[in-house]
Structure 1
Amino acid sequence: MPGLVQRLFPECVWRLPAAGPPTIYLTFDDGPIPEETPFVLEQLARVGAHGTFFCVGDNLLRHPEVARQVLAGGHRLANHTFHHISGWSHTQADYLRDVARCQEVLFQLQPEARPLLRPPYGRITRGLARQLHHTHQIIMWDMLTCDYDPDFAPEKCLATAIRLTRPGSVVVFHDSLKASRNLRYVLPRYLAHFAALGYHFDKL
């Protein structure tokens, strides 16, 4: 992510300090869904990894049992708005309502003092960031796998993800049907590669 963009949004977390053992912060957007999220949980369990799942509120309502599986695995649920909406194409009031609706569902599953939010597509205005900073920790990323891109070959997706990851990276995968092909190829190999190098995988 360009440094200029990061400087424009100081309220957002882009990566974490690289202190102690090398650590990667895995995040998974757009679930939970029964077709893909259990696969992710199985792969994480194989290497003792933990991650953060940025959930669409509508998916939480439809698949609460999958959300509970995420929590049972020691992972964290977080806010990805209720309808997966863009902060660039909705009014501030509508966007804040959508975030709040998702948070209501999340609180029933995982009460917490200051929840996490990832804006869908990374699209958020400066005004929204300042407003939401009072109630949420806004999480962006420094490594986007682009696993959702049908024109991105799985082998290239894996190689790029490995090349751009560094200690403290916040890495984005997607537990979605759109990302399924690349996710199922890349995630187990990505985990195996960094586990062999002694990396830890932690939730935010």
Structure 2
Amino acid sequence: MTLTPIKTPLVAKKMFPNFVWDMATDTKDLYLTFDDGPTPEITEWVLKVLKEYNALATFFCIGKNIEEHPNIFKEIITAGHAIGNHTQNHLKGWKTDSDVYIENTIKAQSLINLHQTNVSNFKLFRPPYGKIKPSQSKSLLALNYKIIMWDVISFDWDKEVSEETCLNNVISKATKGSIVVFHDSIKASKNMQYALPKVLEHFSNLGYNFKPITF
């Protein structure tokens, strides 16, 4: 079991003020995010469920998966969701040379840009595993990336976490402006597919809107 907290402590957010941990809002807005796709069947299932609730989200995609599944990637964009960069090969920043890490990220971004017609001045980036060196984050910020972390993490990928716990992690901790992490991956699919519809229903009943991350 990881020691990562379900809800990111305020002290951690203050230690890394250049990272985006949540979205400032006075209204009932929730920001669902999905890492590691596009993944056949799983990403398509996510898109279907989100549409049922008129929900928009942000997908942090791995470049290699975009290359292998371009049609699914286009479906994400066509549905109106925001796109983020999750490196070309899901690199762990702490164990990767900084130049290699930046080159890998730029490669993934070039694939993203090939499919996007409306490219923002700011590019969204989430470091795989949430692990990134200061030198890497400094370089990416200089390249107009917004480094998107999270307020609440579902632990959908963790085999030691039950479906019910995954759901409760989100329902009990998410609030206005929370950035919530799910994964549209094979590893996380069991917990994610149980929790996501219930999260959407729960917060819809509370009057929440589900928005993509934009700047």
Give the structure-2-normalised TM-score.
0.92
Q: Aligned to 1:5, which of 12, 32, 39?
A: 12
Mapped pair 1:126 → 2:134: yes
Q: Deviations over 1:63-118 (max 9, x none)?
A: 00001110111111110000000110001101001101100101101133221000
Mapped pair 1:152 → 2:161: yes
Q: Aligned to 2:105, which of 90, 99, 103?
A: 99
Separation (CA, whole Å) in 1 of partners of 2:10 and 2:77: 34
Deviating 4+ runs (over 4 angstroms): none
Aligned length: 203
- Are the equivalent residues in 1 in contact too, given 2:153–2:169 (CA < 8 A)? no
Separation (CA, whole Å) in 2 of partners of 1:7 and 1:131: 20
Q: Deviations over 1:152-191 (max 9, x none)?
A: 0001111121001010000000000000100110000110
Q: Deviations over 1:116-142 (max 9, x none)?
A: 000001001222212211220110001
Separation (CA, whole Å) in 1 of partners of 2:136 and 2:17: 13
Separation (CA, whole Å) in 2 of partners of 1:77 and 1:32: 11
Q: Deviations over 1:30-79 (max 9, x none)?
A: 00011200111011101100000000000000000001110111111110
Matched position secondary structure for 1:12: coil
Shift of 1:8: 2.8
Mapped pair 1:196 → 2:202: no
Equivalent position amino acid for 1:140 in 2: M
Query: Unaligned regions of 5+ residues in structure 1, if any?
Result: none
Separation (CA, whole Å) in 1 of partners of 2:72 and 2:194: 22
Structure 1 residues 35-50: aligned runs within 5 Å: 35-50=41-56
Equivalent position amino acid for 1:151 in 2: E
Separation (CA, whole Å) in 2 of partners of 1:156 and 1:5: 24
Separation (CA, whole Å) in 1 of partners of 2:67 and 2:83: 13
RMSD: 1.0
- Percent sequence identity over aligned pairs: 39
- Are the equivalent residues in 1 in contact too, given 2:47–2:76 (CA < 8 A)? yes
Mapped pair 1:62 → 2:62: no
Query: Unaligned regions of 5+ residues in structure 2, if any?
Result: 1-7
Separation (CA, whole Å) in 2 of partners of 1:13 and 1:54: 14
Structure 1 residues 177-196: aligned runs within 5 Å: 177-196=186-205
Give the structure-1-normalised TM-score.
0.96
Matched position secondary structure for 1:116: strand
